[in-house]
Amino acid sequence: MINLHIKQTKISEVLYTQPTDFFQQHYFKDHSALLTGKGLADISRYSFIGISPHTIISYDDKFIIRDEDKVVEYESDFWKFQHRILASTQYHQQAYPANLCGGIGFYSYDVLHEIENIPIQENNYEMPKFKIVFYNEYFVFDNLDKKVWKIEFEYKRVSRIFDLEQYSDDYQVSNISAECNEDEYRAKVEKIKEYILAGDVYEVNLSQQIKAEFSGNPYQLFNKLYQINDAPFSGYLNFGEQKIICNSPEMFLQADGHMLQTRPIKGTIARSEDEDIDTRNRQILLNSSKDEAELFMIIDLLRNDIGKVCKYGSVKVLEEKRLEAYKNVYHLVGIISGMMKAEYDYIDLIKATFPGGSITGCPKVRCMEIIQELESFNRHLYTGSIFIMNQNYLNSNIVIRSGIICDDQIFFNSGGAITIDSDAKSEYEETQTKIKSLLQAVKSDGELLD
């Protein structure tokens, strides 16, 4: 059913070009994908482009497997079939840099329903819970050494899915509206604080959804957004009915062999062109007991999550509070590492840690129940994960600062962690700060209309 055995691999070096510029030649091709970003070398060294799909696998209530010749529906346990998919690949056996290639895809936040028995909310658009694409051609960018390789895989079973889409040169966004206004959002914050006082939770990540009408060229919107904020875990996925525009700063899971890391973000403050204000904001964030408490709480949660699949004593906090600078904001980041046990693969790792604790809260299951209660719509891909993965390499993000375009509409979310010390007005303002880049791209004044 799934045959991704590789017959031959051709690796050739081509002239280095910025990944976003290079992708201009390919974004209109069916299920083409770009994963890129700028930042520290240990998280932003490589960018990936996938074109000419060989096999496309998606899942909602059943798996749909598509190749050049046919579409097959298959019912299976979600996680069991994930193991079969990963085991069918041979990318990890190839020479560098082909050994970095693999399936490119996403896990929707709604995959939580394949882990926990939590009620499903209302949908205001349709999207698979999971999709993964394996390509005939990849481009691997080494952004440190300024090299690009074209990787062509010849599989034992030939399949080449090919279709082109036509786009205008620009885009239009209109009728922006939010799930709730400031008063409604602040009321939800107060409700969470009641749950905290009752002893249900310690913190909950609350968000709201914004939607608008969209027409034109989705990739030009991504380009504009990326120019405003070239976040290290950005991406553009031309995935059929859904076009995914991602501008995320947050790593979820990164693994090379059995060594893994996760890097939660907690704590955000706006940057300023005024040097004195910018310096003051950095110190405010570094000295914030609320943000520090949020970060340490999630670090403990993630230590426990990765500990489910890691060797005893191998889970370590490499950095418990690091200030990282981005174009528009500062963040506090923690770094946790571990060594996976030999009997586990990356599917076990994802199941043990999904969804990422930084975007649910603590304790995770009760927080997800409260999120389902207070947020009006299913999150879909928001706070899920976009990844590239093979049997020996995994790089994935937390999907925040991102938009989904489908059915002539664009949907995006913004939120933050609510604790007992949260000020409802400040929390609402933080959602505005976080999504400012996207709003600047879709609307000239960058302001959200209630």
Please, what is the angle between helix 424-434 and helix 182-197, to 10°?
Answer: 120
- Evaluate whether 115 touches 369 at the Cβ level (below 8 Å): no
Cis peptide leading into residue 355 (ω within 30°): yes
Instruction: Kindly state the tokens that stand for 323.
Output: 């200030």
With H, G, I as helix, E, B as strand and everything else as coil, classify residue 85.
Answer: helix
Give the closest residue to 79 by CA, choosing from 350, 308, 344, 368: 350
CA distances in angstroms from 164 to 132, 147, 161, 212, 282, listed in the order given: 19, 28, 10, 26, 46
E strand segments, 249-392? 251-256, 259-262, 265-270, 316-325, 329-339, 361-362, 385-390
How many helices (H) and strands (E) in the chain?
A: 11, 22
- Name residues whose C-beta falls within 8 Å of residue 279's C-beta, 6 or more positions apart in sequence: none
Q: Kindly name the residue from 250, 294, 427, 430 that is annotated as catalytic.
A: 250
d(CA 21, CA 359): 31
How many residues are present in the chain? 450
The single residue listed with the structure tokens 């006082």 is 197
- Evaluate whether 418 touches 205 at the Cβ level (below 8 Å): yes
Residue 266: active-site member? yes
The single residue listed with the structure tokens 């959200």 is 448
Instruction: Kindly state the tokens that stand for 436.
Output: 């400012």
Q: Kindly name the residue from 131, 243, 266, 434 that is annotated as catalytic.
A: 266
Give the closest residue to 386 by CA, choosing from 105, 131, 109, 130: 105
With H, G, I as helix, E, B as strand and everything else as coil, classify residue 339.
Answer: strand
Question: What 8-state DSSP symbol labels residue 376?
Answer: S
Which uninterrupted H or E stretch holds 408? none
d(CA 278, CA 183): 29
d(CA 206, CA 200): 15
Residue 193: active-site member? no
What residues act catalytically?
250, 266
